[in-house]
Structures are given as C-alpha cells and as structure tokens.
Amino acid sequence: MILKKRGQATLLITVGIIILILLSIAFYLRSSFITPPKIEDLQKETDCPQKIITDCIGRVAPDYINLIGKQGGYLNTPPDTFRLFNGSRVSVLCYNIPGRDECINRMLTKEEMEKQLENALDFALQSCVNVQSCKGFSSGFSIQTPKKLKTDVNIEKDKVLVKVNYPVVLTSRSGAQLTVQDFSTALDYPLGSLYDVAVNQVIDTEAEFGNFEQLLYMITHKGKILIELKKPYPDKLYILKTNNNPFRFQFFIQGEPG
C-alpha cells in the first residue's frame, strides 16, 4: 500500500514537471516567433482610449454645464451674489441701484464660464480616464499616461465643445511607440445661444431702461428662445430655454424692497 501511494505521488510529480516544461516551451516559442506590435498595429489600439475618454467626458461634463446654467453662469457663487430659488443658488447678474429702475450689469462673459468649466473638468475627469484597462494580458504593448490632463472648453451657440489634452503613449515590445493626446466631444447644450440673449438682450435692457419685454421679444423672434419671468419679491427671475432643448439658463435681476 505504501509503495502504491509512493508510486502515485511520483507519477503526479512527473506529470507536473512535464506540464511545467510544456508551458515554458510554449511561452518561449510565443516570445520568439510572435512579432511584437508595430506602429500600424498600435494605431488599431487607439480606439479604446478614445472611447474611454470621450465616454468619460459625456458622463461628467453635463453635470457642470447644467449647474452653470441653473446658477446663472457661475459654478461657485460667492456670498451676496446669489439668491436661493428652488434649492439652487441663482446668481444676480444685475444689481439694484437705490431709487432707480435701472441696474448695474455684473458683466458675465462667456470666457469666464469657459474658464470655470475647464477648471472643474480638469479635476473631475480624472475619476474616469482609466485607459490602463485597454491593455489586456496578451496585448503586447504598454500604456503610459500623465498624472494630469488639460481641458479646453468652447461654448458655441448650440453645443459645448469639450477638448481634453491627455497624452496616451502606447509602446510595443519592439520599441515602436505611438502617442494619441487630443480627445473631444460636442455636447448638445445651447448655452451659447441662451447666454447671448440673457446678456445682450435681457440684462443690457434691464441695465439701461429697467424693464425688458420678454413677450415682445419671443413674438419677434418666433419663439426660438422661450423666456419665463417670475417675480419673487423684490427681484426678477428670468428663465431662458430654446424651443427644442430642456436645458435652462436662469438668473436674477435684483430689485429694491418697497
């Protein structure tokens, strides 16, 4: 019985050694005869980081674009520059002049909004740009990425273009190297159109004359931009949207308590 058990143990050890040898041979042959990826092969691998980063932009950026619209052009609202409305810190974009109907224009610029979005996204996008997941066990190439990324935001009339500079370097075992670094996504938010009407029409008119005829404006422009006016005492709240998109841009004109 003891001899039988010893024989079985010897057989198992022998089989294990043979399997180990075969695996070693297979690994050697694979390393010796499979051609490492060349530049042409690496170019095929760029689809994966492209998808991961553009998907990341599409998931993260809308929250900040919606917030900047809800808060009247500002992601951060300093004290005494906003009024709470339905749980949101809605910015005052024209300040009251005591005893006058006119107001003082706060002068929000599109460049300021773009810069705010860039600063926020530089940090927020780091949570989902994990392109290391593109490299499988047998892929034959390595991936290097920088510690930080740089975002460029361009607010256009009917979309917000988000471009990310994030150099992703693919390197094959043969030493071939390819860098892809610019990733962009166009998001369907008419922030530019609403900003133009808010600043160049509503606020400019309120600042100069103390009153804006939103119904006349909508009729004249065939309802392309819908303007809702609310009057939570003593202020005016303007809510703007296009007729084909739910995105809103809202802000306060500061009034004077009677």
CA–CA distances in Å: residue 46 to residues 5, 137, 141, 165, 258: 56, 17, 12, 15, 64
In the prediction, which pLDDT does 32 show? 45
Query: What's the whole-model pTM score?
Result: 0.83
Q: Which residues pair with 165 in a beta bridge?
A: 150, 182
Task: Report the alpha-carbon distance of residue 133 to residue 242 in Å, rounded.
Answer: 40
Mean pLDDT by 10 residues, the chain (258 residues): 54 67 60 54 77 96 98 97 96 97 97 98 95 69 90 98 95 82 96 98 97 96 96 97 97 94
* Residue of 245, 234, 246, 247 lying closest to 92 (CA atoms): 234
Q: 131: which DSSP letter?
A: G
In the prediction, which pLDDT does 258 show? 76
In the prediction, which pLDDT does 138 show? 47
In the prediction, which pLDDT does 3 show? 46
In the prediction, which pLDDT does 13 show? 66
In the prediction, which pLDDT does 133 show? 84
In the prediction, which pLDDT does 137 show? 45
